[in-house]
Amino acid sequence: MVPETDPLQGQPIRRVQRDGTEFVLLGTAHVSKRSAEAVSALLAQESFDAVAVELCPHRADALKNPDAIASMDLLRVLREGKAGVIAAGLALGAFQRRLADQYGIEPGAEMRRALDEAKHRNLPVWLIDRDVGLTLRRARAALGFWARAEMASGLVASLISTDEISEEDVEKLKEGDMLQSTFAEFAKQSAPLYRAMIEERDHYMAARLREEAAKSSAAPAKVLVVIGAGHLAGTETELQEAKAAPAEIIAPVTAEPKPGWIAKWIGIALTVLVVVGFGFAFMRSADLGWDLLLQWVLILGTGGAIGAALALAHPLSIVIAFLVSPLTPFHPALSSGMFSGAFELWLHKPTVADFQRLRDDVRELKGWWRNRVSRVFVAFFLTNLGTAIAFYVATARLGTAFLPD
């Protein structure tokens, strides 16, 4: 009879033989102390040649070093368009801290335990999950406009809320995957979102396991795979049944999402309208052309400046937002928020104390404005939002060039 104190009792474990390797899949709950204990128990009771974890390099770094953002080049983050991923990571971290404070649960403890145990036993670690930023981009692309808005508003409301997390929500987290439970819930578990958040990652992780096993100099005979319980069935099935080569499976689920044809054609139509509108206005009369051009500058400049002002940006950052906002719609690689955020970074250089307080400050709404690091992201997003709204207003105003006198 198995003792009731056995950490492995009741834990979901699946064993799959594939290409000469035994994969021992341990389904874990990301907010369960027992899952962390089960990882240690399995490694103590059985001999493994490698440990695979449901982490991508970005999430692994964040788990091992929660304060890694202090060493980031924030200007480079803005320039490379990674502000969204970093901000989402901060919000998710705030949500996890609330869990830890309220229930004494450390989210991701089983992953950290797996990394520590592997290091202690001198075992190679395989990071088998898809990049979290790509997963979020593909999830966003899978949703329609209103579903995206619902997801975004739900995330903001939930992740920065000071309300206590209900027992029911905690149980949902125990049953599945942290990313799915935190993000997908706000889109009402839509089928496209499920594919992006769960199904695609099941395929990806199973393919990565086969890929890592194949490229090892000495083929590992036994690998411990630590994954969320929400991925257990899908990854097990994919390991057993997938016929295609790993590279053929990985390629389609790691492709950057393409804009939907509706959004693409709307963007093209608006660009054509702007160019043709200005051209037609100047053909009708120079006065009309210059009048509409002035309105374009004022509307977009004001929109960007209002966004920067709502972020409590420095007056110089607000001026910069006003000046660059009318130009950024013509260059897809630039954004007004990138400039206002960069100036905030230059004018209010974050201190060591800002980085030290960051994880605590982002747990409440006003903390995002108070901390100099998070306020860079607030300036980035609100300036872009103000410019985007103003663009549609200015484009509609430009349409008057086609109206008869």
Q: Per-residue pLDDT tens for 184-234?
A: 444 345 677 778 888 899 999 999 999 999 887 666 789 999 998 888 889
d(Cα 178, Cα 168) in Å, to the nearest integer? 15
pTM as predicted: 0.69
Q: End of a domain among 224, 253, 282? A: 253
Name, of 78-82, 163-167, 262-266, 370-374, the range with top average pLDDT: 370-374
Distance CA 134, CA 85 (A): 9
Does any domain span residue 55?
yes
Q: How many domains does the chain have?
A: 2
Same domain, 221 and 327: no
Is 339 in the same domain as 273? Answer: yes
Contact between 27 and 42 under an 8 Å Cβ cutoff? The reply is no
Residues 247 and 277 in one domain: no
Domain that holds residue 184: 13-253
pLDDT (0 to 100) of residue 2: 46
DSSP 48: -
Angle, helices 372-398 vs 336-347, to 10°: value is 150
Rg (CA), the chain: 25
Q: Is the pLDDT of residue 128 over 90?
A: yes
Select from 212, 230, 253 the last residue of a domain. 253
Q: Highest mean pLDDT: which of 171-185, 211-225, 226-240, 360-374? A: 226-240
Residue 3 lies in a domain: no
Residue of higher predicted confidence among 270 and 69: 270
Same domain, 293 and 244: no
- Same domain for 216 and 268? no
Strands 21-28 and 13-18: antiparallel
119 class by beta-carbon count within 10 Å (0-12 exposed, 13-18 middle, 19+ buried): exposed
Same domain, 314 and 175: no
Quote the tokens at residue 213. 């096993």
> How is 131-150 classified by DSSP, letter by letter?
PHHHHHHHHHHTS-HHHHHH
**Same domain? 83 vs 48:** yes
Task: Tell me which of 253, 288, 311 is where a domain ends.
Answer: 253
Residue type at position 234: G
Residues 64 and 211 in one domain: yes
Of the ranges 26-35, 56-65, 159-168, 321-330, the best mean pLDDT one: 321-330
- CA torsion through residues 309, 313, 315, 321, sign: negative
Within 10 angstroms of residue 319's Cβ, the number of other Cβ atoms is 16
CA distance 357 to 156: 20
Amino acid at 296: W
In terms of pLDDT, which residue wins out, 404 or 130?
130
Q: Which residues contact 83 (CB under 8 A, 6 or more apart)?
A: 77, 337, 341, 377, 380, 381
Q: Is residue 156 part of a domain?
A: yes
Q: Does residue 222 sit within a domain?
A: yes
Say yes or no: 102 and 126 in one domain.
Answer: yes
Shared domain for 66 and 215, answered yes or no, is: yes
Paired tokens of 51: 């440990």
The full length of the chain comes to: 405
* Whether pLDDT at 397 is above 50: yes
Residues 342, 364, single domain; the answer is: yes
In a domain, 7, yes or no: no
Specify whether 245 is located in the same domain as 266: no
